[in-house]
Amino acid sequence: MPETYYPYLLQAVSVHNVLPLTSACNLHCIFCSHRQNPPGITTYRLPPLSVHEVEELASFLTPGQKVIIGESATRIDEGEPLTHPDFLQILSVLRRELPDTLFSVTTNGTLLTSALIDQLVPLAPLEFTVSLNSASAQGRRLLLGDTQPERAISAVKLLSASGIPFHGSLVAMPHLLAEEDIVSTISFLAENGARTARLFLPGYTKFAHEKLRFPLTSWQDLSSLALDLTRELDMPVIAEPAKLTDFKPLVYGVMPATPAQRAGVEAGDEVVSVNGIRPRTRVDAFTLARQKANPHLCLCRNGSIIDVIIRKERGAAPGFVVNYDFDPSRLEEITRALAHSNARAPLFLCSEFGETIMQTAATELGLSDESVFVVENSFFGGSIKAAGLLVVDDLLAAARLALQQLSYDHVFVPHEAFDHTGRDLTGKSAIVLEQELRLPVQAI
């Protein structure tokens, strides 16, 4: 196995429980990020792994923790896992190694045939996420270059009939397809029993073709649409990224036929406590409920307190959905880092998407508003505003601007911008920040 991508493959498996199988793909999505990358970034194309290589990697997976197949958590380009010639054999091998672990497969659905699904059913527990994007023939041809649009549409129906749990996802492109196509696609997923549907803001760089440049002013409208559909369809429709302004542990939605639904949990409920523990964030509320067997939730609904017990096993998903805000373990990590550094005037650099939630975290930690400074992603540009796509030059420019306005004695940067070697997507080390700023810099 080539040394170039192996460390990233090992990191994905051992740290994130993500198992990439191949970078090959059988569609040509117009919003595919791989074609918009600026020159100078380092990513890796993964040839189909051999069954033997997968067996070796399986020993680094965490048993009992969901294994994700078909997504990327590192610089390896994700592909369509079902294009792998040994996909079924690989799942069988993994099932022997991890007999009770949930395998979560993300697929475009074009290769999910009736015969394949029949062979997948005995390999439970499984769940699929179908990146459908459009349930209309016209929409699939336009967005995905799909010359056989009926395949993925049929796959959703086949999954529904098989009883294998599945979710759906789509990239919002209302400037190319009417909003009605988004609504009809999400409705199609709900009608066929999808657990959730995720509606993604399309990411495009400054190198993208003009027609791909989604009007960002429309995102709030689509977020409102997602919330309306959640209520109307009785299925969580989650707009990502969500613009959150607080840590209030609100239930966004409840998946059908789940322990949470059977217990009577409803969208909009505030989780006051889980087994007597008051959650600090939305993520905390979900994590506490997942960790416990038969968790007792105290909920606030329209000003009234309601007690419910979610009947489930320890470690099983409760069935309600929250928007991702802030992991309490990260709050604790920041607290420890501040104490260890003895910083009196810390500077926290954050992404544009993370601005409001990082300001909320600063308030939670007793820090001033001036401790948080937003970094513009100039390297990628376009609609790219996430921490994982910031580079050293972006962070350096923001830090210099902040230091022109106030004095700081310690700089904290988001760890998502760096790989396991401490380098950004261009290969530049975080050490450069310390050298240029002449201040201690810590990725956190």
How does pLDDT run across 193-229, given as a tens digit for each residue? 999 999 998 888 998 888 888 888 888 999 999 999 9
Q: Say what percent of the chain tops pLDDT 70.
A: 99
Average pLDDT over residues 262-289: 98
- Among 22-36, 122-136, 139-153, 250-264, which stretch is predicted with the lowest mean pLDDT? 22-36
Q: Say what percent of the chain tops pLDDT 90.
A: 89
Could you read off the pLDDT of 5-58 as tens digits, one per residue?
Answer: 899 999 999 999 999 999 999 999 999 887 778 888 888 999 999 999 999 999
Q: Please give the domain boundaries of the chain with CATH numbers for all domains.
A: 6-240 (3.20.20.70), 253-321 (2.30.42.10), 328-443 (3.40.50)
On whether the pTM is more than 0.85, the answer is yes
pLDDT of residue 3: 59
Residue 349 has pLDDT above 90, yes or no: yes
pLDDT of residue 311: 98
pLDDT of residue 217: 80
What is the pLDDT confidence band of residue 2, given thresholds at 50, 70 and 90?
A: low
pLDDT of residue 274: 99
Residue 377 has pLDDT above 80, yes or no: yes
Residue 1 has pLDDT above 60, yes or no: no
HEC secondary structure over the chain: CCCCCHHHHHHHHHHHCEECCCCCCCCCCCCCHHHCCCCCCCCECCCCCCHHHHHHHHCCCCCCCCEEECCCCCCECCCCHHHCCCHHHHHHHHHHHCCCCCEEEEECCCCCCHHHHHHHHHHCCEEEEEECCCCCHHHHHHHHCCCCCHHHHHHHHHHHHHCCCEEEEEECCCCCCCHHHHHHHHHHHHHCCCCCEEEECCCCCCCCCHHHCCCHHHHHHHHHHHHHHHHHHCCCEEEECCCCCCCCCECCEECCCCHHHHHCCCCCCEEEEECCECCCCHHHHHHHHHHCCCCEEEEEECCEEEEEECCCCCCCCCCEECCCCCCHHHHHHHHHHHHHHCCCCEEEEEECCCHHHHHHHHHHCCCCHHHEEEECCCCCCCCCCCHHHCCHHHHHHHHHHHHHHCCCCEEEECHHHCCCCCECCCCCECHHHHHHHCCCEEEC
Residue 177 has pLDDT above 60, yes or no: yes
Residue 304 has pLDDT above 90, yes or no: yes
